[in-house]
Amino acid sequence: MRNIFVAIGGSGAKVAEALVRLLAIGFPITRSKETNVLTSAGGTLEFWVVDPDTDSAATTDLNSCIKAYKSLEGLLGEKWAISIDKDVRLFNPLDLPGVNNDGNTLRSLLSAGGTQSTEDFLDVFYKPEELDIEINRGFYQKPFIGAAVMAMFAESLTQGTGTGGQKDLFNQLKSEQANFFLCGSLHGGTGASGLPVMGKFLRSEKRAEKGDVRWQIGACLLGPYRLPLGPPFGADGRLVTDELIEEKSKFFDAKNERSKPYRRAYDSLGEVERKQLVKQVLLGFYANPDEICQRAHQGLLFYHNNVLNRRDLGRVFDDVYVVSKPQPTQLTEWSNGGKSQANPLDSAEVVAALTSLNFFAGSTVGGGTEYIVGASTEERDDKLQSMDLYDLPYYSIGDEIVDPERTFLASSILVHFLSHEIPWDVAAKRWSGIDNLRRGYLHRAGEKAKRSDATAYKEAANLIGESMRSMVDTSKTMGWHAQVSRILDHLMSEQSIENMEKKGFSDDEPKAKFVLGRSSIAVSSFQIGRWYPKGEGAISRGEYLRMIWSNLYALKQDIVAN
Amino acid sequence: MLLLLLQESRILRMFVNSTDESGWEDTALNWLVAALVISVIFTGVMLLVKWFKKKAARNILQRTWSGSRTAVLILLGLIPIVLTLVIVWYGTRNFFNYVGVGGLLKGIVFSWLLYVLFMFAGHLLSPQWRREIF
């Protein structure tokens, strides 16, 4: 099965990052028929990013995250989690084939001259500043700019002369079973304009083959979940001239205390780009926090009226999820795109990534031909400003319900076990209580193999632990309760060693339990020591860990009162 | 058989200070038997201690015994052997009078050697324990 996550714009790329981290942690999307364990291993996952902002920090973060995931894959083999393509396929909507491929403004893209030029009509639809603004850093929360570019881009995908050879790519995909999951914001520029266009493009490609194409197309629309800072200044009704740009540039002076949240974005640019930035702000090309909710509302109406059920295409998406927050989290640093827009991962993006897992697991949202928007979180006083892991929505694998909090808990116990419960420093032949794992090290070169495994398991445990921390640690992320990462750290640390101690002299049952939020797992190190995959061939590290993880997840739990 | 051989050999002489008095052979032999019995008892005790500690171990780390940990256990067993032998030596008139200090020291070394030998042999009985020492 080929799974393709299409991240459209910066928000989509952040959700992609969250998805990679969830998979690294161990989130499953299937139950293996061979080993009967819950796992994500078996298929492939690739990431496509559609974004005119080629310097996007979100894409850079995604690439780093995939690199770490590949390290984990290198350490554990392919049986721990799904195989992710190491290369993110970047689609730059401005990188159009033919005569239109010239420049980074709407005017240069739409008025390429010749018989197909639309120059005469441009002034009817767009203001001069909209036509002339550089759009290689996104569409500044203006989908009406992005929509025109995206439409041209979608059309270019079917042309054989496309820059990336996309026609061949889609022809090849038509012969495969593929799950496309599109993700972008409702209220931004790139996501809001690109997601419907890409959805319609994929659906029309599928329909063109008269039902022979085994594609599933899902989407997650991100409503407002974080608020950018307002613009550093306004034009005050004045004409934007070089003098005004010069004057407003002084705002970013280091002595100006008010400029502090804005300065990093400004300082990261060169001289020419700084002037462009000031000009963009003066002309109103920035993400305006006051308009976000209204734009999301318009976006939803647009989807309802023009995207979801179409006369020509029918249902564009097989499943649609909408994720938002009752009260968006306030960002503390300003950016207008590019390298400086390094937003921390938000809890809403983790929720969106979970919806993609539900989709890739083959689970559908109930409701037949209707689109159902499920509200999976309960009413809370803090309006989800600081979530706990039990606030995350469950998803399904067939008839099984996957509880994200319990998944985190099982993974943290696994990390603890690998790091603190196995006597790696002692010769394997002397191990006691973990006989099945030891058996693999009793041959002549066993000790060398054990040392190599010890290093790999410890590094893998670090990477899995780091993936968990980087999703919920409040110093790196937004929208989580601080205690979540504290408890996870404690569970993974040596301090939790008592939780895994056995109850009595001849009773291997645990005397305590691991508790995370509303989930609990009680297991002793001796019980885990008995777990080992059945099979005659060599067992890979990933296979071993996956079996332990799946068993941990399946252990009976008591209800934890909170 | 071993005792008969010992009786005939010069080895017995090594364990007593004086061979002038009649019956010194019995005293020497009794001293050796005492050393043997004590080493057997403490081998059993120390193996039992190890079994108990392993059984009572609360996790895999505690249940896993490194070679050095086993070596320390064996070395610890040497101490009560000395104490017991000294007590037996001091409390038995014949041993004190005829075995003497030299015989005591030799008896201790003899008992230690037997104890170490039995400890190694004891570890051979179980494949798991064998791996913990060899």
User: pLDDT tens digits, residue range A60-78?
Assistant: 999 999 999 999 999 999 8
Whether residue A221 contacts residue A186, with contact meaning beta carbons closer than 8 Å, is answered with: yes
State the nearest Cα–Cα gap between B10 and chain A, in angstroms.
Answer: 42
pLDDT reading at A381 higher than 70: no
Please write the tens of the pLDDT for every residue from B30-77: 999 999 999 999 999 999 999 999 999 999 999 999 999 999 999 999
The pTM score is 0.89
B8, part of any domain: no
Whether residue A389 contacts residue A485, with contact meaning beta carbons closer than 8 Å, is answered with: no
Please write the tens of the pLDDT for every residue from A140-166: 777 778 888 888 888 888 775 555 457
Could you tell me where the DSSP H helices lie in A98-165? 106-110, 119-125, 128-132, 143-157
Q: How far apart are CA A479 and CA A475, in angstroms?
A: 11
Residues A500 and A351 in one domain: no
State the nearest Cα–Cα gap between B38 and chain A, in angstroms.
Answer: 29
Q: Is A43 helix (H, G, I), strand (E, B) or coil?
A: strand
pLDDT reading at B134 higher than 90: no
Q: Return the closest-CA partner of residue A195 out of A140, A160, A151, A155.
A: A151
Residues A207 and A344 in one domain: yes
pLDDT of the residue at A105: 80
pLDDT of the residue at A487: 97
Please write the tens of the pLDDT for every residue from A414-441: 999 999 999 999 999 999 999 999 999 9
Q: Which domain holds residue A176?
A: 2-94+135-229+289-364
Interface A-B, measured as beta-carbon pairs within 8 A, has a size of: 53
B16, part of any domain: no
State the nearest Cα–Cα gap between A339 and chain B, in angstroms.
Answer: 48
Q: How far apart are CA A183 and CA A221, in angstroms?
A: 6
A370, part of any domain: no
Query: How many domains is chain B partitioned into structurally?
Result: 1
A178, part of any domain: yes
CB atoms A526 and B59 under 8 Å: yes
A441, part of any domain: yes
B13, part of any domain: no
- More confidently predicted of B91 and A97: B91
- Is A262 at the interface with chain B, CB within 8 A? no
CB atoms A529 and B132 under 8 Å: no
Q: Which domain holds residue B73?
A: 23-133
Query: Residue A494: its chain B contacts at CB < 8 A?
Result: none
Please compute, for residue A479, the number of CA atoms within 13 A of its CA located in the half-sphere on the CB side: 27
Query: How many domains is chain A partitioned into structurally?
Result: 3
Residues A500 and A417 in one domain: yes
pLDDT reading at A219 higher than 70: yes
A548, part of any domain: yes
pLDDT of the residue at A148: 81
State the nearest Cα–Cα gap between A483 and chain B, in angstroms.
Answer: 28
Residues A541 and A514 in one domain: yes
Please compute, for residue A21, the number of CA atoms within 13 A of its CA located in the half-sphere on the CB side: 29
A34, part of any domain: yes
Structure tokens at A418: 């690998």
> Residue A525: which of B55, B59, B131 has the nearest Cβ?
B59
CB atoms A432 and B128 under 8 Å: yes
B18, part of any domain: no
B12, part of any domain: no
Residues A277 and A294 in one domain: no
In the structure, what pLDDT confidence band is assigned to residue B87 with cuts at 50, 70 and 90? very high
B57, part of any domain: yes
ipTM computed for the complex: 0.84
> Residue B59: which of A430, A501, A505 has the nearest Cβ?
A501
pLDDT of the residue at A357: 96
- Which range, A82-91, A115-124, A321-330, is most confident? A82-91
Mean pLDDT of the region A98-113: 67
Query: Residue A505: its chain B contacts at CB < 8 A?
Result: 55-56
Q: How far apart are CA A147 and CA A169, in angstroms?
A: 23
A459, part of any domain: yes
B63, part of any domain: yes
pLDDT reading at A337 higher than 80: no
Please write the tens of the pLDDT for every residue from A504-549: 888 989 999 999 999 999 999 999 999 999 877 788 999 999 999 9
Q: The domain that contains A21 carries what CATH number? A: 3.40.50.1440
Residues A267 and A278 in one domain: yes
Q: Is A219 helix (H, G, I), strand (E, B) or coil?
A: strand
pLDDT of the residue at B4: 63
Strands A89-91 vs A44-50: parallel, antiparallel or unpaired: parallel
A114, part of any domain: no
B6, part of any domain: no
pLDDT of the residue at A252: 84
Please write the tens of the pLDDT for every residue from A241-264: 888 888 888 888 878 888 888 888
A483, part of any domain: yes
Query: Residue A426: its chain B contacts at CB < 8 A?
Result: 64, 66
